[in-house]
């Protein structure tokens, strides 16, 4: 019986996910690689985060989005699973918005981190 949990996300862009993890100072490895779990069980994932305890956290493409894959019994991150996903999702959204605005010809004119942890972005586009 597998001990792996697969948690759905709204994350669909690998590059923005990689940027988000790097922003958070998370040491990740690009896959496909095996995520290690209970009793030597593994899951293939596009991103693997190795933990000191020998069990990994990963992000696996399910055909629609990247799911978090881990044996949660051996979770060893600084935050809870929910807190970890909240931070990753916020940084992912930030990178996705910035990339899309640049692609549409805008640039970030101002950015501010609010006390509640939210990020305020002001974008602008010059036209002739």
- Find the DSSP H helices in 7-120: 14-23, 81-103
* Residue-wise pLDDT tens digits, 47-88: 999 999 999 999 999 999 999 999 999 999 999 999 999 999
Domain that holds residue 90: 4-124
Number of domains in the chain: 1
Q: What is the pLDDT of residue 118?
A: 84
CA-based R_g, the chain, Å:
17
DSSP assignment of 42-70, as one string? EEEEEEEEE-TTS-EEEEEE-SSSEEEEE
């Amino acid at each position: 019986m597998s001990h792996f949990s697969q948690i759905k996300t709204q994350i669909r862009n690998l590059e923005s996910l990689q940027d988000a993890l790097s922003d958070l100072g998370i040491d990740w490895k690009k896959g496909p690689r095996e995520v290690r779990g209970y009793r030597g069980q593994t899951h293939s994932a596009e991103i693997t985060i190795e933990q000191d305890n020998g069990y990994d956290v990963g992000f696996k493409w399910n055909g629609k989005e990247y799911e978090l894959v881990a044996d949660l019994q051996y979770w060893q991150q600084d935050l809870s699973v929910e807190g970890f996903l909240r931070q990753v999702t916020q940084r992912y959204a930030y990178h996705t918005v910035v990339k899309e605005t640049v692609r549409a010809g805008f640039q970030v004119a101002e950015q501010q981190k609010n006390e509640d942890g939210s990020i305020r972005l002001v974008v602008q586009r010059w036209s002739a």
